[in-house]
Each structure stands twice: as C-alpha cells, then as structure tokens.
C-alpha cells in the first residue's frame, strides 16, 4: 500500500467503489472491517478542512488519510458530503439521578464506570448527534463524586463499555455541593475539606498531582471559577473546569492559570450575553469544549455563535481535537490522523450547519448508526386567491 498523507485531490484515482446511496435504516453494530471512504469534504478535527480526501480504515484504526493506492479488494465508500471525527463531549449527564449517591459528600474511592450503561436510550440519543466519546458528569451535590474515565458511546463488539485512558476525579465546587444540611455547608468549609484531602500522600488528589488522574471540577458562578483556580494553583493542579457558562468573561484569569473549560449545554434559551461570552472564548487562547444536554440543542450554540462572529477553527477544535486533549484522550480520538481510532461521522452537509445531519457513524471501524431515509418533501398548496391564508376554512 502507498498512501500519501493529507495530499492533493483524488481525481486520477480509479477504484472499484460502493456508493453511499444504499438503503438506510438503523444499523446494527457490525464487526470492524477494512474499508475506505472517499469524501468530497473533511474536517480533520484541528480546524483544517480537506477536499476530495481518501480515508483508509484498517483494524478499527485510521491507517492513512490522503491519496494514493489502496490494497486490493478494499471497499471504497464514495461519499458526496462531509466526513469528520466523532464529536468529543467533555460533559454529559447520561445516568438517571436516582442512581447517584447523595448521602456522602466525599466519595474518593467510588468507581463510577460500572454504573455507565452504553445500551441506555439517552446514550443512543447522544450517539445520533454525532458524539462518539464523552466524559460523563455525575451528581454535583458531592464534593468528590468518584472517578470516571472517558467512554465511547457505542458498546464494544461484545456489548461491553469501551473506556479510554486517564480517569477523571470528579469534584464539585459549585453551589449544589454546599448548604445541603450536612458538611460542608459553606464554600470555606468545602475548601478546607479539600485542603485536608490534598495533604494525604496516599489519597486520590495525590494521584492527580502525580498525573495519574485528571481533575475535573464543576463550577457555575464567577466566584466559583476563581475559587477553583486559586485552590488548584495552591496544590499544583491544572483542572478541567466544567459548567461555567460565562467563562468567556474570565479569560484573563483562565489564561493565567492555564486551565481549560467545558461549557454546559445552553440550547435555545441562550442569551446574547452567553453567546458573546462564547464568541470571546473562541478568540482567546483558553482551551474549551462543549457539554451535551440533549439531541436538539447540542449544535445550536455553535451555529448561533458563528452568526455572531465566533472563530470557526476554534469551535471545531472544541468539538474534536481540542476537546479530546482536554480529557486526555487525544492519542485515541478527536482527529483524522493515522493511528487513531476510526471513529467517523458521515454528514449530509457542513456539520456546523443545523440543516445537516449524521448519515452514518462508525466507532472503531464498526458501523453503529445509519440514518433512516428522508421522506421526499411535498410543495405546499397555493392558497386560494382572495382567501386569507389564516382562514381555517380555506382548502
């Protein structure tokens, strides 16, 4: 095989191919197979775009991206739309609230992975959005909720949970963690309790200082963001701050601390101030990512922010490569780069255009979703002349 990486168009490459116009429907997870996709457009996950790109998948990994010759017998999917990596969401609550422990504020030793079920309907819903990797959120009332690694939203070949390296220690310094009728009942008490645990050389925060755990801290208000930054600096930590809607208004503090942020989902109710903060964040050097709340709202703030002048390459990094780096998974997911997992989404059009939708989704080279065909649209009936269009009796 000879394949030049990230090269010129493929007009001179003649291959036997399978078209992307096959009957669609909900696809059952299939075994990983070797194949190639030749797409009209591709977003690489780091803000770059490619035209007429050939992507070779072998053994569930991205073998090469570019032009050249393929091994004999490789199926080639000719796709006229866009191909991208799967979205990486760094926040998302995909477990039922009743499954969360609420009686104790400190659950350092709790492993949350066994509670994640990749077969739940809400997980399938997030996958349909184009999200293939997620760092789940949990109960924000716990100061330390336990550890959780990033996970793939599609189950593995045997139906198992697919986890990624670098588990996160999930902390909360937001208001739900205080004033709940049990200690800590104040922000100062919360910080004191965390200071005591950070001093334990055998504790989980010591593991985080050694780089064996990512520290993820839930915050909401401006003072909570600054408190988390100050506490982390005291203990030599660079956390991931999740939930600060207006992080774009604290860019100077975030840049000075060298921390990344995850914006919570804000959907249709986003105010102009919220969107302006996102635009400012996109033009800064602060790494950021997006959280998932619902199928209907995940891409809405991006489209709205683009309309207000947000930097598109920064938004793309926040969806793919930059988000993967924030959760410590960029060696496996988030980019169209040889050697990474073949987590791919085939889009009907530009993925940041709300009129586009995922047509096929692959995780580890396995097709895990195929969209149902769209029904042909019918032109609206012309109103009768002289009859107001709002007249319910008009035919």
What does the pLDDT read at residue 180?
67
Rounded to two decimals, what is the model's pTM?
0.86
Q: Which CATH class is domain 88-326?
A: alpha beta
- 67 phi and psi angles, rounded to 5 deg: -135, 165
Q: Which residues of the chain have pLDDT under 70?
A: 1-32, 95-102, 180, 377-395
CB 70 within 8 A of CB 36: yes
Specify the domain boundaries for CATH 3.20.20.140 within the chain.
88-326
| pLDDT the model gives residue 71 | 84
136 class by beta-carbon count within 10 Å (0-12 exposed, 13-18 middle, 19+ buried): buried
Measured torsion, CA atoms of residues 328, 331, 333, 339, in degrees rounded to the nearest 10: 180
- pLDDT (tens digit, 9 = 90+) per residue, 146-173? 999 999 999 999 999 999 999 999 999 9
Which part of the chain is CATH 2.30.40.10? 2-86+343-370
Query: 2-86+343-370 belongs to which CATH class?
Result: mainly beta
Q: What is the pLDDT of residue 231?
A: 98
Please answer whether residues 53 and 65 qualify as being in contact, where contact means their C-beta atoms are separated by less than 8 angstroms. yes
């Amino acid at each position: 095989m000879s394949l030049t990486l990230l090269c010129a168009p493929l007009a001179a490459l003649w291959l036997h191919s399978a078209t992307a116009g096959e009957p669609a429907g909900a696809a059952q997870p299939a075994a990983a197979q070797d194949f190639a996709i030749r797409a009209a457009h591709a977003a690489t996950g780091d803000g770059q775009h490619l035209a007429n790109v050939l992507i070779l998948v072998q053994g569930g990994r991205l073998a090469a991206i570019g032009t050249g010759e393929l091994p004999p017998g490789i199926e080639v999917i000719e796709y006229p739309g866009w191909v991208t990596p799967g979205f990486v969401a760094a926040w998302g609550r995909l477990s039922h609230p009743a499954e969360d422990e609420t009686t104790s504020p400190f659950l350092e030793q709790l492993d949350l992975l066994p509670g994640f079920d990749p077969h739940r309907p809400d997980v399938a819903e997030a996958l349909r959005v184009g999200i293939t990797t997620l760092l789940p959120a949990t109960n924000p009332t716990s100061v330390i909720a336990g550890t959780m690694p990033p996970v793939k939203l599609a189950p593995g070949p045997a139906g198992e949970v697919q986890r990624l390296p670098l588990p996160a220690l999930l902390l909360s310094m937001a208001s739900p963690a205080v004033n709940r009728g049990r200690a800590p009942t104040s922000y100062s008490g919360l910080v004191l309790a965390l200071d005591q645990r950070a001093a334990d050389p055998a504790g989980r925060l010591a593991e985080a200082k050694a780089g064996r755990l990512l520290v993820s801290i839930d915050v909401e208000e401006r003072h909570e963001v600054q408190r988390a930054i100050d506490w982390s600096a005291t203990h030599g930590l660079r956390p991931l701050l999740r939930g600060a809607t207006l992080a774009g208004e604290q860019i100077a503090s975030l840049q000075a601390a060298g921390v990344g942020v995850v914006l919570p989902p804000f959907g249709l109710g986003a105010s102009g101030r919220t969107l302006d903060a996102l635009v400012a964040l996109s033009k800064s050097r602060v790494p950021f990512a997006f959280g998932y709340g619902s199928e209907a709202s995940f891409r809405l703030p991006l489209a709205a922010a683009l309309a207000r002048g947000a930097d598109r390459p920064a938004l793309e990094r926040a969806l793919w490569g930059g988000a993967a780096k924030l959760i410590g998974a960029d060696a496996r997911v988030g980019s169209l780069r040889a050697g990474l997992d073949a987590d791919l989404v085939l889009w009907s059009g530009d993925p940041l255009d709300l009129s586009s939708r995922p047509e096929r989704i692959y995780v580890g080279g396995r097709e895990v979703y195929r969209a149902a065909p769209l029904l042909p649209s019918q032109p609206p009936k012309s109103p009768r002349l002289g009859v107001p269009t709002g007249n319910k009796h008009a035919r």
